[in-house]
Amino acid sequence: MNGPHDLGGQMGFGPVTPEKDERCFHAEWEKRALGVTLTAGAMGAWNIDESRHMRESLHPADYYASSYYEIWIKALERLLQRHRFVTANDLAAGEAVDSAATPKRVLKAENVSAALAKGGPCDRPVEGAAHFAVGQRVRTRNFHPTGHTRLPRYARGKMGVIDAVREGFVFPDSNAQGNGENPQRVYTVVFSGAELWGEGADPMLEVSIDAWESYLEPA
């Protein structure tokens, strides 16, 4: 979706200034925010794509005024309410006051390391031959969905070249909406800086993205 998170190529936000020797966490509560979010996700009520989409769906004013882990917690509150694990009354009271849904599973402390090591693989088998080949020129679709997508706004309607043909992966656009995994083949596509950014782009710049098959059309 064209949400506040999609800042690639947007003007007015100033330069990217990486923090020297950046710490993983800037406050103690951020550690807990990460832990609570991962533990809640392990209940099995939603997938990573729905979780991402919920963060993207925050109002722009709220999103831009929030730190990284504040965005995570605000999105988690909405996910928990959507799936009936908490209510607005619970959040207002700071404790459980209403009945709640029962999670499919509960991540126990002794199983955290194994769960993190296992991760959440999203590669899936796909049938049929690849629609595109290495070296082929393609154009990305110029579309503006209201739901989740992994095709960044700056790379829509642009000409590029297939650099690699990958395997099948869960299609995030449908998975985020609860419409199934619908795996598709993924391609690495290379774009010139001038194609993406126009006049004034570094002539030596190239940008590659991983694009699901339905994002692409023959050039």
- Give the pLDDT score at 63: 97
- Give the pLDDT score at 130: 97
- Give the pLDDT score at 10: 85
- Cα–Cα–Cα angle for 179, 183, 189, nearest 5°? 120
Pairwise CA distance, residues 217 & 219, whole Å:
6
- Give me the residue label for tokens 């796909």: 126
Across the beta sheet with 206-212, the strand order is 206-212, 184-192, 159-169, 137-140, 216-218
- Domain hosting 160: range is 137-218
Contacts of 180 (CB under 8 A, 6+ apart): 174
Are 84 and 157 part of one and the same domain? no
Specify which residues 216 forms β-bridges with: 140
* Number of domains making up the chain: 2
> The CATH number of the domain where 144 resides is what?
2.30.30.50
Are 97 and 33 part of one and the same domain? yes
Residue spans of the chain under pLDDT 70: none
Which residue among 83, 118, 153 closes a domain?
118
- Give the pLDDT score at 74: 97
Nearest to 51 by CA among 71, 28, 26, 25: 71
For the entire predicted model, the pTM comes to 0.91
- Give the pLDDT score at 58: 96
